[in-house]
């Protein structure tokens, strides 16, 4: 693999000059010399060494994205958003699936730091874990001391995200929509309490109920995981409780998909007997039957804005936090409640 030294020799110029043309630095080089260097580079199939360059600049054009699991459609959309924005600037993106394991998360951040990544973007919700928080704080300081950026895309231990979404407003809006349809008994399949974004969505549920003058029956909010399996378990728990509800709002589309499937298995029609709504609007939401009503979040844009924010941070700008809008999209899984509730 040829280096700039060979390019310079072949072009008959100094390394400094060769560097200036291949790095496209703003420094005068005569057209003739420039052409010779370019020609030499082409002939030698020269590809600049990003490591050497990064060593110089103490930063490399790479951004890391910490996600829960790249296999989860929410996160893959966000990553795609980051990637598209990053590609335009010549940046590469490193995907880190932490499975919400604090140790894995810290280990990834450390690796990213060792690479002198330009930025690390936390796409997943923060976890309420004091030990992790402390270690991360140290890494953030290191990252920033190095001119790197740290951007959060969802709430975390120490504060609000630099670029966020309307978790609470979105949930409240969906409750409102359900109430408009005539629902009074709305169950909520909540996510684990230690996830910050889950707290916001739950707060939105409560706010929405309150705004409608409805009292929330605590037996109708059950906490489970965040995947489809949690959806089926949640439905079972709710049904075992024997409580009646005509609508089921889930903290995530994945959960909603699991819930719908379980409901169907049990012979409960959706939306005939129970309406189901999700959150996020992953692409599969409109491929199920019935198609899922949900609160759409601009996932790709979230990633793109997150990257843009990171770039601005690196450029030394001071920025205000921004929040991206939600949109409630009503499809076929929600409908007015039946005259007799699903269960009495």
Partner DNA sequence: TTGCCGATAGGAAACGTTTACTGTAGGCTG
Partner DNA sequence: CAGCCTACAGTAAACGTTTCCTATCGGCAA
Q: According to the binding rule CB under 8 A, does residue 14 interact with a copy of itself?
A: no
23 binds, among a copy of itself, DNA, none (CB under 5 to 8 A by kind): DNA
27 binds, among a copy of itself, DNA, none (CB under 5 to 8 A by kind): DNA
Q: According to the binding rule CB under 8 A, does residue 51 interact with a copy of itself?
A: yes
Which helix (H) or strand (E) segment is 204 a member of?
helix 196-211
5 binds, among DNA, a copy of itself, none (CB under 5 to 8 A by kind): DNA
Interface with a copy of itself (CB under 8 A), residue from 41, 119, 228, 342: 228
Q: Structure tokens of 328?
A: 């409630």
Provide the 3-class DSSP secondary structure of residue 82: helix
Q: Binding pattern to a copy of itself, positions 133-172, x when CB under 8 A?
A: -----x---x--xx--------------------------
Query: Rounded distance, CA 269 to CA 260, Å?
Result: 9
Q: According to the binding rule CB under 7 A, does residue 28 interact with DNA?
A: yes
Query: Rounded distance, CA 137 to CA 120, Å?
Result: 13
Q: Beta strand pairing status for 186-190 and 247-250? A: parallel
Q: According to the binding rule CB under 8 A, does residue 287 interact with a copy of itself?
A: yes
Query: Rounded distance, CA 331 to CA 287, Å?
Result: 11
Which helix (H) or strand (E) segment is 106 a member of?
helix 102-114
Rank residues 125 and 288 by Cβ distance to a copy of itself and give the closer one.
288
Q: According to the binding rule CB under 8 A, does residue 264 interact with a copy of itself?
A: yes
Angle at 77 between CA 142 and CA 289, to 5 degrees: 150
| CB 31 to a copy of itself: min, Å | 25
Q: Beta strand pairing status for 117-122 and 149-152? A: parallel
Q: According to the binding rule CB under 8 A, does residue 58 interact with a copy of itself?
A: yes
Q: According to the binding rule CB under 7 A, does residue 39 interact with DNA?
A: no
Query: Rounded distance, CA 288 to CA 276, Å?
Result: 12
Of 30-38, 135-143, 202-210, 241-249, which segment contacts DNA by CB under 7 A? 30-38
Q: According to the binding rule CB under 8 A, does residue 203 interact with a copy of itself?
A: no
Rank residues 112 and 221 by Cβ distance to a copy of itself and give the closer one.
112
Q: Is residue 44 within 8 Å of 100, Cβ to Cβ?
A: no
Total of residues contacting DNA (CB under 7 A)? 30
Query: Rounded distance, CA 292 to CA 294, Å?
Result: 6
Q: Structure tokens of 332?
A: 């076929």
Of 166-174, 192-200, 209-217, 285-293, which segment contacts a copy of itself by CB under 8 A? 285-293
Query: Which whole-number Å values give the CA distances from 218 to 44, 193, 342, in the listed order?
Result: 70, 15, 18
| CB 20 to DNA: min, Å | 5
Cis peptide upstream of residue 290 (ω within 30 degrees of 0): yes
Q: Is residue 37 within 8 Å of 51, Cβ to Cβ?
A: no
Q: According to the binding rule CB under 8 A, does residue 324 interact with a copy of itself?
A: no
Q: Chain centroid to CA 237: how far?
A: 29
Provide the 3-class DSSP secondary structure of residue 95: strand
Provide the 3-class DSSP secondary structure of residue 11: helix
Q: According to the binding rule CB under 7 A, does residue 32 interact with DNA?
A: yes
Query: Rounded distance, CA 267 to CA 264, Å?
Result: 5
Of 64-72, 200-208, 213-221, 318-326, which segment contacts a copy of itself by CB under 8 A? 64-72
Interface with DNA (CB under 7 A), residue from 39, 42, 58, 144: 58
Q: Which residues bind a copy of itself (CB under 8 A)?
A: 1, 45, 47-52, 54-55, 58, 60, 62, 64, 69-71, 73, 76-77, 79-80, 83-84, 87, 90, 92-97, 104, 107-108, 110-116, 138, 142, 145-146, 228, 257-258, 260-261, 264, 283-284, 287-289
Q: Which residues bind DNA (CB under 7 A)?
A: 1, 3-5, 12-17, 19-20, 22-23, 25, 27-30, 32-33, 46, 48-49, 52-53, 55-58
């Amino acid at each position: 693999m040829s280096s700039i030294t060979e390019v310079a020799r072949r072009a008959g110029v100094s390394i400094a000059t060769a560097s200036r043309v291949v790095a496209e630095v703003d420094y005068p080089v005569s057209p003739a010399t420039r052409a010779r260097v370019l020609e030499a580079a082409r002939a030698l199939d020269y590809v600049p060494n990003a490591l050497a360059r990064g060593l110089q600049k103490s930063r490399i054009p790479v951004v890391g994205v910490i996600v829960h699991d790249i296999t989860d459609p929410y996160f893959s959309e966000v990553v795609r958003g980051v990637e598209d924005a990053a590609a335009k600037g010549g940046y590469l993106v490193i995907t880190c699936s932490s499975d919400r394991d604090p140790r894995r998360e810290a280990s990834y951040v450390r690796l990213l730091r060792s690479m002198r990544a330009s930025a690390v973007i936390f796409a997943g919700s923060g976890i309420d874990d004091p030990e992790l928080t402390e270690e991360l704080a140290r890494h953030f300081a290191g990252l920033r001391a190095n001119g790197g950026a740290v951007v959060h895309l969802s709430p975390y231990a120490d504060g609000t995200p630099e670029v966020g979404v309307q978790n609470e407003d979105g949930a409240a809006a969906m409750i409102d929509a359900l109430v408009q349809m005539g629902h009074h008994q709305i169950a909520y399949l909540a996510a684990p309490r230690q996830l910050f974004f889950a707290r916001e969505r739950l707060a939105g549920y409560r706010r929405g109920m309150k705004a409608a003058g409805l009292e929330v029956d605590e037996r109708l909010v059950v906490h489970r995981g965040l995947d489809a399996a949690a959806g089926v378990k949640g439905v079972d728990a709710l049904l075992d409780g024997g409580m009646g509800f005509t609508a089921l709002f889930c903290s995530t589309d994945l959960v909603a998909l699991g819930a719908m499937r379980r409901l169907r298995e049990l012979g409960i029609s959706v939306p005939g007997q129970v309406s189901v709504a999700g959150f996020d609007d992953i692409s599969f939401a409109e491929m199920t039957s019935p198609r899922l009503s949900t609160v759409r979040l601009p996932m790709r844009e979230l990633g793109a804005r997150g990257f843009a924010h990171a770039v601005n941070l690196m450029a030394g700008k001071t920025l205000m936090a921004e929040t991206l809008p939600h949109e409630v999209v009503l499809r076929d899984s929600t409908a007015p409640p039946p005259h007799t509730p699903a269960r009495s």
